[in-house]
Amino acid sequence: MTNDANLSYNALLRIDLERIYKIYLLCCVLFYFIEAN
C-alpha cells in the first residue's frame, strides 16, 4: 500500500469505529431505559 492509500484506509477505519461505538452507546441507553421501567 502507498502512504496515501494507508492514510485514507485509516480514516475510513476510524469513521467505522466511531459509528459502531455510537450505535453501541445508543443500544446501552435504550437497554437502560427499558430495564429502568
For residue 10, the model assigns a pLDDT of 87
Collect the ranges in the chain with pLDDT lower than 50. Answer: none
DSSP string, the chain: --HHHHHHHHHHHHHHHHHHHHHHHHHHHHHHHHHH-
Q: 485509516: which residue's cell?
A: 10
For residue 25, the model assigns a pLDDT of 97
The model's pTM: 0.59
For residue 13, the model assigns a pLDDT of 87
Domain ranges in the chain are 1-36
